[in-house]
Chains A and B, each alone.
Chain A
Amino acid sequence: MKLKNIQTFNKSFDNDDTNRYLPWLIACMVFLATLAVSAIFMVNSTTARLSSSFSNSITVQIPINEISTINEKNKKLALDVLASYKGIKRANLVIPEDVSSLLEPWLGKYANTQNLPIPIVIDAEIDRNASIDVQILTNKLSKLIPNITLDDHREWLNNFYRTLDALEVLASFVVLLIVLSAIVTIIFATRTSMGLQKDTISILHLIGATDQYIANQFSIRAAWLGIRGGIGGLVVAIPMLIGLEAIIKVSEAGVLPQLALDGSGWIGVILILPTVILIAMFTAYSTVLRTLSSMA
C-alpha cells in the first residue's frame, strides 16, 4: 500500500484522544525492556569472559613450614609434578612479593607481610583441550605433600555462574512480563478505540471494506504508536547505558562484572524498536479481526 494511502486511510480512525497517553506508556515499557535486555547481554558477556579467563588455571597452595628446607623441597616437588603432569601447560611460582601485593587490599600497604605465614602459591595453566581431573591430581600431590590444596576456581565460579544465571532468568522474566503487559495494553486500547469508532467501522463495512482492511488501519495506527513509544523509550535508555559504561570505566571497578554492552548487546538493544513495532501491529491487527468476527 502506498504511503499516501496509508496516511489518508489512517485518518479515518484518528479522532479519538483516549489513546494519547499510550505512547508514554509504551515508552516506559521500552525503557524498562531496554534495561532488562541489556542486563541479559551484560550477564552473558561476563559469563563468557570469566570462563575464558578462569577455567584454564589452577591455583596450588602449600602452607609454609617452620623448616625452610622442607619448604624448598615441597616447592620443587610440586613444580616438578605439575610441570610433568599431562594436561598442564605451565606451572609458575607466584613470588612472595606478588602474593603480598595481592593481599594488600585486605591487609593494608604497610603490613609486614614478611613475617606472615604466606603460603607458597603456584599458578598452573591447564591445556584447555585436555580434560584434566583435578581430584586425581590433588590425590597425587597430597601423597607427596600433606596439607597441599588445589583450587581450580570451579566452586567459586560455579557459585558466580549460578548468580549470573539467576540474574539472567530474572531479566528474561522481566522482559517477558513487559511484552505481555504491552500486548494486554494494546489489546485494551484497540478495543476501546473500536468502541469509539463503531460508526466509522460500520460505514467502512457498508462501503465494502473487508475486516482485514479495517484491521490494517488499526495496525498502522499501532505501528505509529510503537514507533513513537519505542523511540521515546530508547532515547532515554541508550544515553543511560552509555553513561553507566563511562562511570564504570572511570571507577575501574575491576571486580564488578563489566556493565558495558558489546556489539551484539547494542544490536539487541536496537532491535527492540522493530520488535515493539511488530508486536504492536500484530496485536492490534489480530484484536480487530477477533473483535469484528465476534460482533457478527
Chain B
Amino acid sequence: MTDILRFEDVGLRYGLGPEILQDISFGLQEGSFHFLMGPSGAGKSSLLKLMYLALKPTRGLIHIFGEEISTINRKRAPSLRRNIGVVYQEFRLIPHISAFDNVALPLRITKLKESLIKKNVEELLEWVGLKDYMLSKPPTLSGGQQQRVAIARAVVAKPKILLADEPTGNVDDEIAERIMHLFEELNKMGTTVVVATHNASLVKESNFFSMTLSDGKLQFSGS
C-alpha cells in the first residue's frame, strides 16, 4: 500500500532559530491512525503545519497524495487542502459568523446544495453536543464548545486525512471520549487520522500507532 503522506529527511527552523525538527522521515499508510506525542514545545504543532501545507520545510521532501509539496502551486493547493481536515490547537474559527456557518464553510466552498449542507452540519453539531448553540458566535462559546465546533468543521467534508492538534485539550473526559470515538469512526470509514497530544492517557486507552517527538527527532512505537 502506498503512503498517503511521506516525509523524507525533513528539517524545519523558524527564521534563523534552531532547527526544531530534524531528519524527520516517516510514511503514513492510507487509513492508518497515529498519535503524535511529545511534551509541550516539542514541535507537534509545527509537524502538523507541514502536513497541512501551512509551512514549507527548510530541508527535505514531503509527499502528500503522491505530490511533492514544493511542486504544488497556488492553483493546485486548494483542491489538496480540501482533502485535509484540520483541528487547530487554537481552533481558528471565524469569530463573527455562527457555529453553524463555521462548520458549513468547507462544504460551501465546494458549492454543495444548501439543503444538504444544512442536514450534514446540523447532524454533526448535534452529535458533538452543540444542538442548542448552532447560531451562537464562537466568542460567546466556552473553550470546550469552540473546540467541538472546530472538530465538526474539520470532519464535515469527510476529508481523506484528519489532523487534530490537541483536540481534547479543553474538554472533559466524557466529551474527549466522544471525540476520540468520532475519530475512530471516521478512521474506520477510511480517513487517515493523526492526533497530536501531550496527554499520554489518551493514547493508552487505544491501540494505535504512536510517534513521539523529542529533541526535534521522531521515534516510533507500534501497537
Contact = CB atoms under 8 A, between A and B. Distances in A.
A275 B112 CA distance: 31
Contacts, number: 62
Which 5 pairs across A and B sit closest by C-beta, in order of nearness?
A208-B82, A15-B96, A208-B81, A209-B109, A210-B78
Nearest to A9: B108
A199 B86 CA distance: 16
A14 B95 CA distance: 11
Interface bracket on A? 20 to 34
Contacts of A48: none
Q: Please report whether the interface of chain A is mostly helix, strand, loop or mixed according to DSSP.
A: helix
A204 B86 CA distance: 12
A208 B79 contact: yes
Contacts of A208: 78-84, 106, 109
20 contacts: A2-B114, A5-B108, A9-B108, A11-B97, A12-B101, A14-B96, A200-B94, A204-B109, A206-B81, A207-B81, A207-B82, A207-B105, A207-B109, A207-B153, A208-B81, A208-B109, A210-B75, A210-B109, A213-B109, A293-B74
Interface residues of B, number: 28
Interface of B: 52, 54, 74-75, 77-84, 86, 92-97, 101, 104-106, 108-109, 111, 114, 153
A206 B114 contact: no
A279 to B, nearest CB: 26
Contacts of A205: 77-78, 81
A11 B96 contact: yes
Nearest to B104: A8
Contacts of B78: 205, 208-210
Contacts of B74: 211, 293, 296
A127 to B, nearest CB: 67
Interface string A1-25: 1101100110110110000000000
Interface string A274-294: 000000000000000000010
A236 interface: no
Residue of B75, B86, B92, B94 with most partner-chain A CB within 10 A: B94
Residue of B86, B93, B101, B105 with most partner-chain A CB within 10 A: B105
A5 B96 CA distance: 16
Interface string A172-201: 000000000000000000000000000110
Contacts of A213: 109
A200 to B, nearest CB: 5
A137 interface: no
Contacts of A4: 114
A211 B153 CA distance: 20
A203 B94 contact: yes
